[in-house]
Amino acid sequence: MHRLLIFRIVLIALVTTACSSTAGDPSVTTAQPVASTIATPTTEVPTTTEAPITTTTAADAAPPEMEGVWRTDLGNNDRVQLNLRGNDYIITRGPNSGSGDISVDGDLITFSGSTLCNGVGTYQWTVEGASLTFTADDSGDPCSGRRPVLDGVTYTR
């Protein structure tokens, strides 16, 4: 019984400290109510509403069926992992890793802004079940390391 009482006192002290630890800290911001006034012919009534939280997805982001972690083996245990999220990608091949931007337009995906090389590469993509396959378009890809891990390569989840 005595231990339970001590536990409750310590718990209340921790909760009280945690709740008040950010008071007066200028680096901590919280959502503030938005005030507006509704006018009528005879009176004004102030109202308060919380500002809405919105989530936006870029129109050229990877579609849901493409997003996620994909893996392939190019042979001889040369494994590649490709992570696609929104307008970003991360690719890892052995000890090497790079990242950049993607833009999806229909069945075309464009890789750019790579941390490993310069240039833009566009590939056709298809998802069938748990498989994602890329095929280089006719414009070529100036990034010599990107084409071997994408063109004609099938990744699986």
Break the chain into its structural domains and give their ranges. 68-156
Q: Please, which pLDDT band fits residue 89 given cuts at 50, 70 and 90?
A: very high
Mean pLDDT of the chain: 76
Q: What is the pLDDT of residue 24?
A: 46
Q: What is the pLDDT of residue 137?
A: 87
Q: What is the pLDDT of residue 20?
A: 43
Phi/psi of residue 45, nearest 5 degrees: -120, 115
Q: Please, which pLDDT band fits residue 129 given cuts at 50, 70 and 90?
A: very high
Q: What is the pLDDT of residue 150?
A: 95
Q: What is the pLDDT of residue 57?
A: 65
Q: Please, which pLDDT band fits residue 156 given cuts at 50, 70 and 90?
A: very high
* Closest C-alpha among 100, 109, 98, 122 to residue 65: 109
Whole-prediction pTM: 0.63
Which class in CATH covers the domain with range 68-156? Answer: mainly beta
> If residue 81 lies in a helix (H) or strand (E), which one and from where to where?
strand 79-85
